[in-house]
Every structure is written in C-alpha cells, then in structure tokens.
Amino acid sequence: MTRQILLPSVGDLTAFEAAARHASFTRAAAELHLTQSAISRAVRMLEDRIGVTLFERVRQRVVLTAAGSLYLKEVRRILAHLREATHAVMSYADETATLNVAVLPTFATRWLVPRLPNFMAAHPDVTLNLAARLEPFDFGREPFDAAIHYGSPTWAASRCHHLMDEVTVVVASPEYRAARKLVRPMDLQRATLLHQSTRPRAWSDWCALVDVELEGVNRGPRYEQFAMIAQAAAAGLGAALLPRVLIEDELAAGRLEVLFEEALTGPSAYYWVVPEEKAASPALRAFTDWITAQAGA
C-alpha cells in the first residue's frame, strides 16, 4: 500500500521533466499541449506526493532545487527506459517473432547491417530491432534479447559465442601514401597518426610489434569512433590503425590501402551474447546460427 501511495504518475513525471528542461511551466505546457495551470498542478501534486520541493521561482523562471536536480536525472532515465520498453512491446502487435539486439554502432553499421538482407530473406517472420550499447549491461534490467560485445567472453548468466578476433591494420588513402612516401614502417615518422580515443595505446603496441620507434607516437588527432577515423583517413588527413573488418568497403573501393602487412591482434574479440533464460527461443537460435556462420565465413 505504501509503495502504491508513493509511486508518482507518468503524467506528473513527464510534466516535471518538461518543466525542468525548459525552466518554464508555460513552455512545458505548450510542448505537452496542456495549460500552464495543468503543469503547475502536476508538479505540485508530485511535490506533495514525495514531500520535497523540486522548483523555486526566480525572476519569472522556475529553477530546480538541489533535490530537483538529483530527481531529474533518475526521472529522465526512467522515462527513457519506459519509452524503449513500450516501443519494443509494440513491435509484437503483428504477432511476428521480434528480436531486440544491443549492438556496437560501427560494427553494426559496417559489418552486420550489410549482411542482414540474407537473414531477413530466410526468416521474413522475424522483426529485428537494433539499439546502440557500448558497455555490458544487465539483461534483466534492459529490454534486449541479445547483444554484440567487444571484449572478453564474460557476461553474467549468458552464453558468449565467439564471432571474430579484431585484426588491426595500418591504412591511408592512396594519395596520402604517395605524398608522404610511406614505404616502410619507419616512414610513418612523416605521417600524421590518427588515434581512436578508446584505444590510446594502439600505435605504441603496433610499433612494438614491428620493432620501430616513432618520435611523438602518441601525438595526433583523436576520434571517438572508428567510422570517423576511416572517413578521416580516406580524406587524406593521416594514417590510421583500423580493424580490417570495419573497412571492407573502403579497401574494396580503393579509398584506403593497407600500408604494411604487419597486423595487430589484441586479447579482446567480438562476441554474440545471449542470456541463458532466452537461449531456447527459436528466433534467437536461428539468428545465433546465422551470425556465427557469417562470422566464420
């Protein structure tokens, strides 16, 4: 009973989030197609329910209190999860099998999605929903049936299927290679080295592999995603260390060239992760068989 009394309504939480984002009850009302008094009443009911003041009025504006700022972070997270879960459930309306999969954005864009027509042709009754996740999560708290993971094969209460190791090669555009005369690894001293922000030691590790010392090996522009570095390298901004599996199109089209045969293979790999409680799903079994076969090929 106590839990029911304390639980705020979704409408009140939505009004609070909009008012906090706009710092205005009037603008929140316009966004939600309500009156200003309705927003004010919803916020007041929320404050009464939880016994905490969420806003203060300052010069014709509403400003979050310290408690309001803390509450806003959690409210936004809850509303986002509720929207995601609702969209996932809506996909079951046509009674087709639905798989909700968490993916690594660049891997999905560059490797998975171009191959999906093959799976969809064989399984037209399966609806596949993809959403980006960069880190492991609790399948019990997130609305996903499986995930593509880069790292080690450890994920609580789940089966990890090895897809492929990450083989990283040095690449540049043909024009950049010719202009900087990049013939031997030591010639990279004349190149701008492009870095991936989550792999800060990649260039140092590759230099150790080929037994070459480059002055200022850690200098150079940094990019957050491999797709950005691939575009930068193809545009002639420098030489890059990139997973070969993510630049198949650029290599095939000649926009990028592998400069040296030495490739870096680290301890981490790509895995297809399925929670134990969902492993028996026919649609999930079919996708597991397909994606592991694709990776093996």
Asked if pLDDT for residue 70 goes beyond 70, the answer is yes
Residue 36 CA to residue 6 CA, distance in Å, equals 25
Between the CA of residue 241 and those of 78, 131, 137, 161, 201, what are the distances in Å? 39, 26, 28, 26, 11
User: How much is the pLDDT for 1?
Assistant: 42
Yes or no: say if 132 and 102 are a contact pair by the CB < 8 Å rule.
Answer: yes
Give tens-digit pLDDT for 247-264: 999 999 999 999 999 999
Residues 55 and 14 in one domain: yes
| Lowest-pLDDT range of 51-65, 184-198, 246-260 | 51-65
Nearest to 101 by CA among 143, 46, 136, 51: 143
- 112 lies in the same domain as 171: no
Return the pLDDT at 90: 63
Q: What CATH number does residue 48 fall under?
A: 1.10.10.10
Domain end point (choices 90, 106, 133): 90
Count of other CB atoms within 10 angstroms of residue 53 = 12
Residue 57 has pLDDT above 90, yes or no: no
| Residue that terminates a domain, selected from 90, 123, 154 | 90
Last residue of a domain, one of 39, 55, 90: 90
Note the pLDDT of residue 37.
94
Give the C-alpha separation, 14 to 29, whole Å.
Answer: 11
Higher pLDDT, 271 or 93: 271
Residue 117 sits in the same domain as residue 71: no
Q: What is the mean pLDDT of residues 109-115?
A: 96
Q: What's the structural domain count of the chain?
A: 3
- b/e per residue, 130-160, with b = 16+ CB within 10 A? bbebeebeebeeebbbbbbbeeeeebeebbb
Residues linked to residue 155 through DSSP beta bridges, in sequence order: none
Does the pLDDT value for residue 87 go beyond 80? no
Query: Residues 27-41: what's their mean pLDDT?
Result: 93
208 and 174 in a single domain? The answer is: yes
Question: Which tokens hold the place of 227?
Answer: 């797709």
- Average pLDDT for residues 257-285, to the nearest whole number? 94
> Do 29 and 16 contact (CB within 8 A), yes or no?
no
152 and 274 both lie in a single domain: yes
Q: What is the pLDDT of residues 159-183, one digit of tens each?
A: 999 999 999 999 999 999 999 999 9
* Parent domain of 51: 2-90
Say what percent of the chain tops pLDDT 70.
Answer: 95
Shared-domain flag, residues 175 and 102: no
pLDDT-based confidence at residue 289 (cuts at 50, 70, 90): very high
Burial 90-104 (b: 16+ CB within 10 A, else e): eeeeeeebbbbbbbb
Residues 117 and 249 placed together within one structural domain of the fold: no
Residue 297 confidence (pLDDT): 84
CATH code (residue 209): 3.40.190.10
For residues 245 and 289, membership in a common domain is answered with no
Same domain, 184 and 205: yes
Q: Are residues 29 and 113 in the same domain?
A: no
Pick from 116, 21, 110: which is nearest to 61 by CA? 21
- C-alpha–C-alpha distance, residues 110 and 100, integer Å: 19
150 with 113, same domain: the answer is: yes
The stretch 239-245 carries a mean pLDDT of 97
Tens-place pLDDT, residues 118-159: 999 999 999 999 999 989 999 988 889 999 999 999 999 999
Q: Are residues 287 and 249 in the same domain?
A: no
Q: What is the mean pLDDT of residues 220-239?
A: 96
Q: The pTM is what?
A: 0.69
Instruction: With cut-offs at 50, 70 and 90, classify the pLDDT of residue 84.
Output: confident
pLDDT at 11: 93
Tokens 């090996």 belong to residue:
217
